[in-house]
């Protein structure tokens, strides 16, 4: 049982739970329709309840809940419903920063302000399920607000979804995506051509870099060391891997262990030679 302390709109209210006397955001179709402060409501099947006790770098949950237009809370809730279907267990506390982002994104679009996200392609590959899920925002925004959202904004929403299913925040996910983009750029510069983003080796390389960064941030180390073999067998790939590891460690203010160099060199060698093989085939054709 909840006692209403504030009605945000027909579908969203803030209520005080009878057991713990704490405030919660309660969302559900028509739950606030015709209701007044101090009225009591029961949560129904299909309603969603969010604690307002949490805080984040955007502010505390209650401040966000009352400052964000309710429609964006509803849209974020719909996106999380879709995410829950895909990933089952998610942290719904991401509702507030996601709704906050959505509100500012729509304002930018309405003001004809274009944002650039150079990591969009990498996010789409690195967090492909999250990105696919985030695309549900397109028809929702079109139907509810007449807004067309671009790939860059979908990329940002997918990072919020990722933070709801992993013990990472959006800024950390951006750090990982940025590290991946930096590594790929180093490889492309070294071979003087773009790497095929649809290739299996590219996907393996991206996932390896993501896991490498995660291991470094969590102070985990690989048990097997391939450095001696890779340095002799593939010296160019090994040197490039060493340069990349040093740069990534510097940018993330962490130490990339020596054992990571050999594994990264192996993936670099694979992605470079897969592209070379494809070019040879195309030349014959």
Give me the DSSP letters along 48-64.
Answer: EEEES--EETTEEHHHH
**pLDDT tens-digit profile, the chain (285 residues):** 999 999 999 999 999 999 999 999 999 999 999 999 999 999 999 899 999 987 665 668 888 888 999 999 999 999 999 999 999 889 898 999 999 999 999 999 999 887 777 788 888 888 889 999 999 999 999 999 999 999 999 999 998 999 888 766 777 777 778 888 888 888 888 878 887 776 777 778 878 888 888 888 888 888 889 999 999 999 999 999 999 899 888 888 888 899 999 999 998 888 877 654 444 433 443
**pLDDT score at 57:** 56
d(CA 79, CA 158): 10
Q: Which helix (H) or strand (E) holds 258?
A: none
Q: Give the pLDDT confidence score for residue 278 in this predicted structure.
A: 40
Burial class of residue 72 in the structure, from the number of CB atoms within 10 Å of its CB (0-12 exposed, 13-18 middle, 19+ buried): buried
pTM > 0.75: yes or no: no
**CA distance linking residue 94 with residue 161, whole number of Å:** 8
Structure tokens at 260: 């990571």
Which pLDDT value is given to residue 281?
33
Task: Determine the pLDDT at residue 62.
Answer: 86
């Amino acid at each position: 049982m909840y006692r209403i302390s504030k009605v945000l709109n027909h579908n969203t209210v803030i209520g005080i739970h009878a057991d713990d006397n704490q405030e919660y955001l309660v969302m559900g179709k028509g739950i606030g329709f015709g209701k007044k402060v101090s009225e009591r409501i029961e949560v129904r099947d299909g309603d969603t309840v969010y604690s307002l006790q949490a805080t984040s770098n955007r502010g505390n949950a209650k401040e966000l809940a009352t400052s964000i237009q309710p429609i964006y809370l509803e849209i974020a809730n719909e996106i999380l419903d879709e995410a829950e279907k895909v990933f089952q267990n998610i942290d719904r506390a991401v509702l507030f920063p996601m709704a906050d982002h959505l509100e500012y994104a729509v304002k930018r679009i309405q003001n004809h302000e274009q944002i650039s996200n150079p990591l969009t392609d990498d996010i789409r590959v690195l967090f492909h399920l999250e990105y696919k899920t985030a695309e549900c925002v397109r028809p929702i925004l079109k139907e509810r607000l007449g807004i067309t959202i671009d790939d860059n904004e979908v990329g940002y929403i997918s990072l919020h979804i990722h933070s709801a299913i992993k013990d990472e925040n959006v800024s950390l996910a951006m750090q990982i995506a940025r590290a991946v983009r930096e590594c790929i750029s180093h490889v492309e510069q070294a071979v003087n051509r773009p790497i095929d983003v649809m290739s299996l080796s590219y996907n393996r390389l991206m996932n390896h870099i993501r896991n490498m960064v995660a291991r470094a941030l969590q102070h985990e180390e690989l048990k097997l060391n391939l450095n001696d073999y890779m340095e002799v067998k593939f010296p160019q790939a090994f040197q490039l891997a060493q340069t990349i590891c040093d740069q990534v460690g510097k940018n993330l203010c962490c130490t990339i262990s020596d054992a990571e160099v050999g594994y990264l060199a192996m993936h670099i060698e694979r992605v470079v030679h897969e592209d070379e093989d494809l070019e040879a085939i195309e030349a014959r054709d």
